[in-house]
Structure 1
Amino acid sequence: MNMKSLLGLAGAIAILTGASWTRAAEVSVAEFTSLDNEYWSNFDKGARQAAEALGLEYRVLTNGGDASKQIGNYEAQITAGAKMFFGNAQDVGNVKQMAEKVKAAGGTYVGIWDALPWFHPIDNGADNYAYATFFAPDGEDNAYVIAKALFEKMGKKGNLVHITGYPGSSAEISRTLGVDKALKEYPEIKLIARQPGNWNQIDSRKVMEDLIVANPQIDGVFGQNDSVGVGAMQALEDAGLKDIPVVGLDGNAETMDLIKEGRFFATMSFTPAWQAGFSLVRAYDVAHGWKPGACERMMYMGATLITAENVEAYTKFLEGDKLPFDWKKMSRTLNPDNWDPQNHVWPIDAAQMWRTAEKPAGYELPKEYTAEFGAGCVDKLKADYESHYKSRIPE
């Protein structure tokens, strides 16, 4: 039977069964740690709504923090025919594996949060865009901004406790660099303790309890993320110390409520729903022929400092089932002239980002990237993206 006859038979079957004869939707796959975590639950919400807006089939896979399971998830979805992938890496070593597997399958991968030091997306193949882009908040600058806000709240002097995350992680390193940068500008702020809280509330609460016993005077606490900050806050309140400002980073709903109640001073929100939708849209655009420049292959994403002054406006902006983002308007292929990122987005200086990581012997950043960087791509692209940023997140 020839192809024309086969198509005719398929159409007849569709009519007889009442089924519609349409092309199968393209598949977009989000892969991350766990849906039990509030951050990733919000991430999933944004991804779902973006996929629906673009007419994509959406699949979400979680790995429970298991790096080997993450690789297995990618392999299974590639075997099933998926082509668009986005998400974080459970181990930075996974980045190269995932990028190479997606490249071999002719797909598109957008990485977020976790980059393998000295592995630029162009290193995955200068003649392809399989490792389309990498996105992350600027951890160093975000920590610097909120640390300065904390130090001002402390009256520019006093004893600071810094409870960190896991030693050695990329977010851990960048945020600590930001705190240290701020400390240099506030000589009367004394760092009296820096101990790991392992990114979670329980461990951080115990660390803070011990530090309260060891230090009779504490004037401020910097938590490496919201969970760390909340654990520290609880320990302080249990000890009857209710006027010590505490900060964190993430922008979780619980933290927003604590800010409204006056129990938590500030957080830095990364708007995970927007992160997910923007990453999916970027994967979609590259898969449909848009080619980002070399400087657009690694980009920072904006974050918002949340205090009592703007917490109501920010939470109201995001409340409700339908998110306030126009996902189609983000697309460079659907709106080549009037696209709108709907957040701050700007290029990463890769050498600066990886300056604390040992560079492999003989490695040099891709010539395509260094040429654009030398020609001033950072300032040019930052201005371009800002000029298109029309639908704004409350700040």
Structure 2
Amino acid sequence: MPPTSRRGLLFGTAAVSAGALLTACTSNEPKNAAPAAGNAPAADDKPGRPVTIGFAGPQADHGWLNAINQNAKRRAEKYSEVTLEITEGSNDTAAQIGQIQTLINKKVDVLVVLPADGKALTQVGLQAMRAGIPVINLDRVFASPQAYRCWIGGDNYGMGLNAGRYIGEQLKGKPNAKVVELAGLDNLELTKQRTQGFDDALRNYPNITKVARQAAEFTVESGQAKMAQLLQAQQRFDALWNHDDDQGVGALRAIQQAGRDDFLMVGGAGAKSAMDAIKADDGVLKATVLYPPTMAASAIDLARALGQKKGVGGMSELEIPASITLYSAVVTKDNVDEYLPTGFS
């Protein structure tokens, strides 16, 4: 696990689609499904027993990270019986451990934790579980399954796979097609997973060759600098996959400055700015592959269900699942209106 840093926290390791998951976890829409087996209670909007949820998330210094915190807060506000004890947010491992221990000492009913470093925070997850406080491990996974009751997070391999499939389908009729990749931080496992998924997808398209790859740092500045290098080195290519929409803002600046419009671009994560550009359809950005920050809202739903000893609406089991992996949907101009409400700033 790399040393803790702002960029090191951006995403976790890794199916249910984001929209389907929200419906399944919250049952906010009228129920049409048959009653759960054994008359199991299901999570719903009707107020239940009071639940205090402790939330220890990241420092909101990146669009996706800020969206994680906002999704958690907004979801908790939907429930009159839910009290959310939220920490200030920290990307420092020692500080976050202290914040979680404070929540344990307050005897919250359930904990939701997006750890700065999954491995380093495993012991405090174990501490909470041993104290009888169930833990929802959000995105960056703890080193031991005994440190959490349920894991919910994104699918990094799936992001790369779906990006590669989309680009492959767009270029499958083009002989000797060339693609380039603007990755994230190479010392993060998630970056390796996204690249592996992308490469695996491209193997199904023998007419396509990946001719270049640059690793950026999930920032606007790094995206602009690394994209400028790619453009200078590659005079012709047909598609670009960029791992992160925040660094994609910089990448688009470099593309505009170079006056290039001879390729299509696919982003990653699902920022509102990316979706707006896709809807306008007046530039190179044609799609983005989701890594939904709505997972934080779903984590609150799961925590509420645990605290009230309910199951998950739409499922027959008495208990919530042990793990939930979100689906990395591809957003294009054909479906962007559906996903715009989930776009983050």
Q: Which TM-score band applies after superposition, normalised by the shorter structure?
A: 0.7 to 0.9
Q: Name the counterpart of 2:191.
A: 172
Sort the Cα spacing of 1:153 and 1:276 in 2 relative to 1 into closer, same or farther, 3 A: same
d(CA) in 2 for partners of 1:87 and 1:266?
Answer: 30
1:45-60, aligned counterparts within 5 Å? 45-54=70-79, 55-60=81-86
Structure with greater helix share of residues: 1
1:278 aligns with 2:298: yes
- The answer to whether the Cα contact below 8 Å between 2:278 and 2:333 also exists between their aligned partners in 1 is yes
Q: Name the counterpart of 2:158.
A: 141
- The answer to whether the Cα contact below 8 Å between 1:251 and 1:267 also exists between their aligned partners in 2 is yes
TM-superposed deviation, 1:297:
1.3
TM-superposed deviation, 1:95:
4.1
Q: Name the counterpart of 1:303.
A: 328
TM-superposed deviation, 1:30:
2.1
Aligned partner of 2:231 among 212, 218, 223: 212
1:266 aligns with 2:287: yes
TM-superposed deviation, 1:285:
2.2
Sort the Cα spacing of 1:296 and 1:163 in 2 relative to 1 into closer, same or farther, 3 A: same
Q: Name the counterpart of 1:251.
A: 270
d(CA) in 2 for partners of 1:69 and 1:42?
Answer: 21
1:31 aligns with 2:59: no
TM-superposed deviation, 1:236:
1.4
Sort the Cα spacing of 1:207 and 1:38 in 2 relative to 1 into closer, same or farther, 3 A: closer
Question: Please, which moves more after superposition, 149-158 or 194-203?
Answer: 149-158
TM-superposed deviation, 1:93:
1.3
TM-superposed deviation, 1:318:
5.1
d(CA) in 2 for partners of 1:43 and 1:115?
Answer: 16
Q: Name the counterpart of 1:186.
A: 205
- 2:150 is paired with a residue whose SS is strand
1:78 aligns with 2:104: yes
Aligned partner of 1:232 among 246, 251, 256: 251
TM-superposed deviation, 1:251:
0.6
Sort the Cα spacing of 1:116 and 1:79 in 2 relative to 1 into closer, same or farther, 3 A: closer
- 1:93 is paired with a residue whose SS is coil
Sort the Cα spacing of 1:92 and 1:99 in 2 relative to 1 into closer, same or farther, 3 A: same
- 1:159 is paired with a residue whose SS is strand
TM-superposed deviation, 1:62:
4.0
TM-superposed deviation, 1:293:
8.6
d(CA) in 2 for partners of 1:166 and 1:63?
Answer: 22
- Name structure 2 gaps, 5 residues minimum: 1-48, 312-316
- The answer to whether the Cα contact below 8 Å between 1:250 and 1:268 also exists between their aligned partners in 2 is yes
d(CA) in 1 for partners of 2:69 and 2:322?
Answer: 23
- The answer to whether the Cα contact below 8 Å between 1:256 and 1:311 also exists between their aligned partners in 2 is yes
Q: Which amino acid aligns with 1:202?
A: E
d(CA) in 2 for partners of 1:318 and 1:98?
Answer: 31
Larger Rg: 1
d(CA) in 2 for partners of 1:176 and 1:215?
Answer: 19
d(CA) in 2 for partners of 1:38 and 1:204?
Answer: 14
Q: Which amino acid aligns with 1:144?
A: L
Sort the Cα spacing of 1:307 and 1:244 in 2 relative to 1 into closer, same or farther, 3 A: same
Q: Which amino acid aligns with 1:219?
A: D
Sort the Cα spacing of 1:200 and 1:135 in 2 relative to 1 into closer, same or farther, 3 A: same
Aligned residues: 285
Aligned partner of 2:219 among 200, 211, 218: 200
d(CA) in 2 for partners of 1:294 and 1:26?
Answer: 17
- 1:299 is paired with a residue whose SS is strand
Question: Please, which moves more after superposition, 50-59 or 286-295?
Answer: 286-295
Q: Which has the higher contact order (CA 8 A, sep 6+)?
A: 2
d(CA) in 2 for partners of 1:84 and 1:251?
Answer: 29
1:109 aligns with 2:130: no
Q: Name the counterpart of 1:68.
A: 94
- The answer to whether the Cα contact below 8 Å between 2:228 and 2:254 also exists between their aligned partners in 1 is yes
Q: Which amino acid aligns with 1:282?
A: L
1:366-377, aligned counterparts within 5 Å? none
Deviation track 1:327-358 (CA, whole Å, cap 9, x = no partner) reads xxxxxxxxxxxxxxxxxxxxxxxxxxxxxxxx
Question: Please, which moves more after superposition, 177-186 or 291-300?
Answer: 291-300
- 2:53 is paired with a residue whose SS is strand
- The answer to whether the Cα contact below 8 Å between 2:110 and 2:306 also exists between their aligned partners in 1 is no
Q: Which amino acid aligns with 1:281?
A: D
Q: TM-score, length-normalised on structure 1?
A: 0.66
TM-superposed deviation, 1:179:
0.5
d(CA) in 1 for partners of 2:218 and 2:67?
Answer: 18
Sort the Cα spacing of 1:100 and 1:272 in 2 relative to 1 into closer, same or farther, 3 A: same
- 1:148 is paired with a residue whose SS is helix
d(CA) in 1 for partners of 2:236 and 2:168?
Answer: 16
TM-superposed deviation, 1:290:
5.0
Q: TM-score, length-normalised on structure 2?
A: 0.74
